[in-house]
Structure 1
């Protein structure tokens, strides 16, 4: 990668792509937005399905590399811009726990909260990817209680992922507003990058709604 390379972020406001945009801002990475109006269904059209057949955002492109899946994107970008200090080095003892908690988001938290939101019975505990909802959430709460960040004093890309996820899931009542979760989410939401992108997202979402006649 050269200093002239720019990340293209396939984006829609107030979606999972918001976290990636906040991460790019925190990294100081050069990027361009390829905006999709999801209210108008642009993510399901052929042009974008060629990028991500699942029709989801975020996705990113950098040169010949196309990356989908939020967890992969966070690991990839934070490693590309190590000078920002948001990822532990390979020989750092925190690297393993950092990867653990990023993976935990995609493999355990997301399936658990979707089942919980949809009021679906989880699979038997021996087959469930997250054991059960309360156990999954309890493990996360115990880790965050060590604070102020997921890995203690060290702020990493994982905190952007989790801070935004908890903000959204608590807002919609999917995750209970426990003190540890609330304080942690507020800490991440107070960061300037989060504030900038939240404001930009509000404006873009209003434009999309108007364009789609919603």
Structure 2
């Protein structure tokens, strides 16, 4: 879908007179009917809190004027419009426009304090979650872009995974329960396994498969392998991910 409105989710968190509109577009590594890794983060958070929202896709090759003028002059996605109910392509002037996936996750954590994004009554745990997300963003996502988009060695991804793994607990999710860390990391980590296994990337042919074999077999990656398996099995993520369809588009 180049431009679509998804069915609304029934919400257990009532926000009178306000409307959530997620604006995004599929990128290189995704399907037209599913979000990029950045928009995927926001979809995971919205679905976890059972928010009622509408998604409207933006063509980044032909950005509409209303998006640049009313939502995000930088032109990046995802972006969230929060305000009075309106047509997806005609946001209300009273609406708040919020770009950047991690900023949106923080906003949703405030909007839905008991929704499971951040622990509601534990400032220390909230700080730990934010520190892990900050580390992941500054180390792993940089390595991800370098390998898959810029053609640098997948070894950068493996090294970044080991750094992130060292910050995880011995088992389970980062803070015990699924939350912001997993919403931030899962879209990147699950794609990493898929892309390496099928040697998709701008690095030399064969380098991805070689890195995937190391991830799959070497003991030093045991913890992060289990972490990714647990995330893939989590209901909110499982309902948002269709690897077979993604691979059919990439093939």
Q: TM-score range by the shorter chain?
A: 0.7 to 0.9
* Corresponding residue number in structure 1 for 2:16: 3
* Corresponding residue number in structure 2 for 1:156: 179
**2:110 pairs with 1:79:** yes
User: 1:31: Cα distance to partner?
Assistant: 0.9
| Contact 1:164–1:189, Cα closer than 8 Å, also in 2 | no
Give the SS at the match of 1:8. Answer: strand
| Contact 2:24–2:35, Cα closer than 8 Å, also in 1 | no
2:140 to 85, 96, 109: 109
User: 1:25: Cα distance to partner?
Assistant: 0.6
* Corresponding residue number in structure 2 for 1:186: 229
Give the SS at the match of 2:178. Answer: coil
Q: Distance in 1 between matches of 2:81 and 2:124?
A: 30
* Corresponding residue number in structure 2 for 1:20: 42
**What RMSD, in angstroms, separates the aligned Cα atoms of the two structures?**
3.2
TM-score, length basis structure 2? 0.64
2:165 to 120, 128, 141: 141
Change (3 A) 1:45 1:105: farther
| Contact 2:81–2:96, Cα closer than 8 Å, also in 1 | yes
1:39-118 to structure 2, matched below 5 A, reads: 41-42=61-62, 44-50=63-69, 51-63=71-83, 64-89=95-120, 91-117=122-148, 118=150
Structure 2 unmatched ranges of 5 or more: 1-13, 26-33, 84-94, 197-207, 216-220
Q: Distance in 2 between matches of 1:53 and 1:89?
A: 33
Q: Distance in 1 between matches of 2:241 and 2:158?
A: 30
- Cα deviation, 1:160-197, whole Å, max 9, x if unaligned, reads 22122100122212775333333222212222222332
Give the SS at the match of 2:117. Answer: coil
Structure 1 unmatched ranges of 5 or more: 122-131, 210-214
* Corresponding residue number in structure 2 for 1:124: none
| Contact 2:48–2:116, Cα closer than 8 Å, also in 1 | no
| Contact 1:22–1:193, Cα closer than 8 Å, also in 2 | yes
Tell me the matched-pair count: 191
Higher helix share: 1
Q: Distance in 2 between matches of 1:120 and 1:59?
A: 29
- Cα deviation, 1:54-86, whole Å, max 9, x if unaligned, reads 433211111232111111111111221012232
2:189 to 166, 176, 181: 166
